[in-house]
């Protein structure tokens, strides 16, 4: 139950509804049990009438039977009304808690670090916020409701039974300790099996997500059959875990019914003995049977409720694992001020924690505000890592980064990110209209502004060719764009922010050199006055730069202007010679 403790604040928040719900549960149970003693009384009157027909007072008999009959009929109607309100309060509270929980998980996801999210599987993240939350909601709603219901019913029935005949009560409850032992053991097994089945489900979701993202590769490599067989294998695994869980859960109902049946046998035997010896009347035996049979459903449901609780416990553990992950990059400054764009890297090193790869090793350089630098280097040399450090998506392990002479981590994080125009290497666009994608970073964008920046990014004429032009939907529900078109929309999205610092991470790799040149000419005015970092493999971009940094295995191999670098042997000269 420990993981479910983290739900206490949510229970507290919705305490009013829950307390009202509990009151309805109590009323519903009192109304369920109240008419039972009248059944016993009615049975006694009928038995009395049959054995002594001479004493029959017809009017009195009818009067009593009408009163008892009315109570027996009316009480279930009122019980039904109480049960309706019990659901209306407790189930509604569970839905509200589910809403809060989902929002809190999503909010927490947003605070998690780039590296953590990058290393998590999307399917798994999705499962924790969907499937796992549904499991927890099942506990919050039916789980809590039926647990309280069973407990209250048990207390009331136990009280009624003890008041009627303590000895018969003792016999009726003989199977109870065995039942508790069985429930306890089964619930441990259910918890373990649930965790395994949920892990398998997460794996399956991640696999499906992966295979749809890589559908082009799968089809071009004609791997459909292979991927289907892998899916079958994984879903078989999930199926086996689920069946094993269902088998354990299936034991509950028959065992519960068996135990109640055993109680009935005891009642019949002991009750019969006591009746023969004149210690009780036949109505008392009838009452006991009715009491026990009322317990059948709640006790059968106990098995179901136990698995709901165990499932929720396993799910909550998975949710808590994520909720415990601390926000690594925090904002300590909330001031508003202007940024010039002077950047210094002072002996900066960074190692990716998950792989242990040292991506940057004591890197130092200085970019004056308004300068344009091109970062070159072989694949994996650490270029993107510099961009991520600048945006504070990751923090250096050692060394310092300064912006306008002040430590980057002491700046207002939201402010500095708003001053960056970042075009990432992987051109991610949202499943939305082209207009909304371009205007993503600004508020109240007009058609004119969006078009201006689309023109600068050399994508305007392409957009006009689509039927719905700027209102064209991209992605799953709309058109599929070419790599170059996506890149240019990403560029327009960064330009429209009118940032102070541009970071283009291999942003022109998917467009031809002519378009690349046009884009760079279009934004040359901005580039001249703003700090611009262009990560590129192409020599054509270097003509716009003040300085070139050549990285090799995370270290600076060469640094200088185009003319300085072509005058000495090295990677830069090699690239120049290759491009001739
Ligand atoms: N999220 C990550 N987790 C672990 N290792 C990473 C991660 N991202 C990059 N790396 C590793 O860090 C090193 C530097 O990567 P980086 O992306 O900075 O190189 P790059 O020069 O930009 O490469 P490319 O030109 O191919 O984009 C590489 O060896 C890479 O494998």
Pairing, β 358-367 against β 343-351: antiparallel
* pLDDT tens per residue across span 167-215: 888 888 887 778 778 877 887 888 788 888 888 888 888 888 888 878 8
Model pLDDT, residue 12: 93
Number of domains in the chain: 2
Q: At what angle do helices 36-51 and 282-323 cross, to 10 degrees?
A: 160
> Is the predicted pLDDT of residue 453 greater than 80, yes or no?
yes
Model pLDDT, residue 274: 87
Q: What ipTM does the predicted assembly reach?
A: 0.97
How far, CA to CA in Å, does 306 sit from each of 138, 143, 190?
Answer: 11, 8, 9
Q: Which of 352, 556, 571 to mutate to test the pocket of ligand 1 (most atoms within 8 A of CB)?
A: 352
**Residue 278 and residue 387 in one domain:** no
Judge if the beta carbon of residue 426 lies within 6 A of ligand 1: no
**Residue 306 and residue 389 in one domain:** no
Evaluate the CA torsion angle 433, 501, 373, 525 in order and state its sign: positive
Q: Where are the alpha helices (DSSP H) in 54-143?
A: 58-111, 114-119, 122-129, 131-138
CA of 335 to the centre of ligand 1 (A): 33
Q: Phi and psi at residue 473, in whole multiples of 5°?
A: -85, 135
Under the banding of pLDDT at 50, 70 and 90, the label for residue 479 is: low
Q: Does 337 map to a domain?
A: no
**Residue 237 and residue 185 in one domain:** yes
**Residue 167 and residue 129 in one domain:** yes
Model pLDDT, residue 383: 92
CA of 194 to the centre of ligand 1 (A): 37
Distance between CA atoms of 13 and 502, rounded to whole angstroms? 46
> Is the predicted pLDDT of residue 345 greater than 90, yes or no?
yes
- Closest of 567, 560, 557 to residue 542, by C-alpha: 560
Most confident of 257-261, 324-328, 380-384: 380-384
CA of 541 to the centre of ligand 1 (A): 22
* pLDDT tens per residue across span 6-61: 889 999 999 999 999 999 999 998 888 888 877 777 777 777 777 777 766 777 77
Q: Which of 328, 353, 380, 426 to mutate to test the pocket of ligand 1 (most atoms within 8 A of CB)?
A: 380
Distance between CA atoms of 252 and 184, rounded to whole angstroms? 11
Q: Does 28 map to a domain?
A: yes
> Is the predicted pLDDT of residue 231 greater than 80, yes or no?
yes
Q: Can you list the positions of beta strands (E) in 378-458?
A: 398-403, 406-407, 420-423
> Is the predicted pLDDT of residue 246 greater than 80, yes or no?
yes
**Residue 253 and residue 378 in one domain:** no
Q: Does 124 map to a domain?
A: yes
Q: Does 329 map to a domain?
A: no
**Residue 139 and residue 227 in one domain:** yes
**Start-to-end Cα distance in the chain:** 70
Is residue 11 left, alpha or beta, with left meaning phi > 0 and alpha meaning psi from -120 to 50? Answer: alpha
Judge if the beta carbon of residue 424 lies within 6 A of ligand 1: no
Segment 483-502 mean pLDDT: 90
The total of other beta-carbon atoms located within 10 Å of residue 97's CB is 25
CATH code (residue 549): 3.40.50.300
CATH code (residue 42): 1.20.1560.10
- What is the Cα 213 distance to its own chain's centre? 20
Range of the domain at 156: 2-323
Q: Which of 383, 389, 550 to mutate to test the pocket of ligand 1 (most atoms within 8 A of CB)?
A: 383
CA of 421 to the centre of ligand 1 (A): 21
Q: Does 86 map to a domain?
A: yes
b/e for 452-477, b at 16 or more Cβ within 10 A?
ebbebbbbbebbeebeeebebbbeee
**Residue 292 and residue 366 in one domain:** no
Q: How many residues does the chain have?
A: 580
* pLDDT tens per residue across span 297-336: 777 677 778 778 888 888 898 898 888 888 778 888 888 8
Model pLDDT, residue 412: 92
Collapsed DSSP state (helix, strand, coil) of residue 505: strand
**Residue 348 and residue 263 in one domain:** no
Residues 363, 347 contacting (CB under 8 angstroms): yes
Residues 350, 360 contacting (CB under 8 angstroms): yes
**Residue 288 and residue 396 in one domain:** no
Under the banding of pLDDT at 50, 70 and 90, the label for residue 95 is: very high
**Residue 229 and residue 113 in one domain:** yes
Model pLDDT, residue 168: 86
Most confident of 317-331, 392-406, 506-520: 392-406
**Residue 356 and residue 242 in one domain:** no
* pLDDT tens per residue across span 313-323: 888 988 988 88
> Is the predicted pLDDT of residue 156 greater than 60, yes or no?
yes
CA of 384 to the centre of ligand 1 (A): 7
Q: Does 328 map to a domain?
A: no
Q: Give the list of residues 6+ apart from residue 179 with CB closer than 8 angstroms, or none.
A: 255, 256, 259, 299
Model pLDDT, residue 180: 75
Q: Atom 24 (ligand 1): residue with closest C-alpha?
A: 379
- Closest of 548, 533, 536, 551 to residue 420, by C-alpha: 533
Q: Does 306 map to a domain?
A: yes
Q: Does 305 map to a domain?
A: yes
Model pLDDT, residue 476: 59
Domain final position from 295, 323, 351: 323
Model pLDDT, residue 17: 92
- What is the Cα 163 distance to its own chain's centre? 50
515 vs 406, which has greater pLDDT? 406
Domain final position from 289, 323, 357: 323
Segment 382-410 mean pLDDT: 92
Q: Atom 20 (ligand 1): residue with closest C-alpha?
A: 380
Under the banding of pLDDT at 50, 70 and 90, the label for residue 478 is: low
225 vs 514, which has greater pLDDT? 225
Under the banding of pLDDT at 50, 70 and 90, the label for residue 402 is: very high
Average pLDDT over all residues of the chain: 85
> Is the predicted pLDDT of residue 112 greater than 80, yes or no?
yes
**Residue 312 and residue 366 in one domain:** no
Q: pTM to 2 decimals?
A: 0.72
Judge if the beta carbon of residue 355 lies within 6 A of ligand 1: yes
Pairing, β 531-535 against β 406-407: unpaired
Model pLDDT, residue 96: 93
């Amino acid at each position: 139950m420990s993981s479910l403790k983290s739900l206490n604040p949510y229970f507290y928040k919705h305490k009013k509804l829950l307390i009202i719900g509990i009151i309805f549960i109590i009323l519903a149970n009192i109304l369920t049990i109240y008419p039972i003693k009248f059944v016993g009384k009615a049975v006694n009157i009928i038995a009395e009438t049959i054995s002594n027909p001479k004493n029959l007072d017809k009017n009195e008999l009818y009067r009593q039977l009408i009163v008892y009959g009315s109570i027996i009929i009316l009480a279930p109607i009122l019980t039904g009304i109480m049960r309706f309100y019990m659901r209306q309060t407790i189930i509604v509270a569970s839905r509200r808690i589910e809403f809060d929980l989902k929002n809190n998980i999503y909010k927490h996801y947003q605070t998690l670090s780039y590296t953590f999210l990058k290393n998590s599987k999307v399917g798994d993240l999705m499962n924790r916020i969907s499937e796992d939350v549904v499991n927890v909601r099942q506990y919050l709603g039916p789980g809590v409701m039926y647990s309280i219901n069973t407990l209250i019913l048990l207390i009331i029935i136990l009280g009624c039974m003890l008041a009627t005949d303590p000895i018969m009560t003792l016999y009726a409850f003989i199977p109870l300790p065995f039942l508790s032992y069985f429930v306890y053991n089964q619930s441990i097994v259910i918890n373990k099996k649930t965790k395994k089945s949920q892990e398998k489900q997460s794996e399956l979701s991640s696999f499906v997500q992966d295979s749809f993202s890589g559908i082009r590769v799968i089809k071009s490599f004609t791997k459909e059959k292979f991927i289907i067989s892998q899916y079958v294998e994984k879903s078989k695994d999930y199926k086996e875990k689920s069946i094993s869980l269902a088998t354990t859960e299936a034991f509950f109902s028959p065992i519960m019914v068996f135990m109640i049946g055993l109680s009935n046998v005891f009642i019949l035997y002991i009750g019969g003995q006591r009746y023969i010896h004149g210690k009780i009347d036949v109505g008392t035996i009838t009452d006991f049977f009715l009491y026990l049979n009322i317990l059948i459903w709640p006790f059968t449901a106990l098995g179901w409720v136990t698995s709901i609780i165990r499932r929720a416990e396993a799910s909550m553990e998975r949710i808590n694992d994520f909720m415990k992950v601390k926000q690594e990059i925090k904002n300590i400054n909330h001031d508003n001020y202007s940024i010039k764009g002077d950047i210094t890297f002072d002996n900066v090193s960074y190692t990716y924690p998950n792989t242990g790869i040292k991506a940057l090793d004591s890197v130092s350089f200085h970019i004056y505000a308004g300068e344009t630098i091109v970062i070159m280097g072989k694949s994996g040399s650490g270029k993107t890592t510099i961009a991520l450090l600048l945006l504070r998506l990751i923090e250096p392990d050692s060394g310092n980064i300064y912006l306008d002479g002040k430590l980057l981590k002491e700046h207002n994080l939201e402010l500095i990110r708003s001053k960056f125009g970042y075009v990432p290497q992987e051109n991610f666009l949202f499943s939305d209209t082209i207009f909304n994608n371009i205007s993503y970073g600004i508020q109240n964008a007009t058609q004119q502004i969006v078009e201006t920046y689309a023109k600068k990014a050399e994508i305007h004429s392409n957009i006009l060719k689509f039927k719905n032009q700027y209102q064209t939907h991209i992605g799953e529900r709309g058109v599929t764009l070419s790599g170059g078109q996506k890149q240019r929309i990403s560029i327009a999205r960064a330009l429209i922010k009118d940032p102070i610092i541009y970071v283009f991470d291999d942003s022109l790799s998917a467009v031809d050199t002519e378009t690349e040149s046009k884009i760079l000419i279009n934004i040359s005015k901005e580039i001249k006055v703003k700090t611009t970092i262009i990560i590129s493999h192409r020599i054509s971009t270097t003509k716009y730069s003040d300085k070139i940094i050549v990285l090799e295995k995370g270290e600076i191999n060469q640094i200088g202007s185009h003319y300085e670098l072509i005058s000495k042997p090295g990677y830069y000269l090699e690239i120049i010679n290759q491009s001739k």
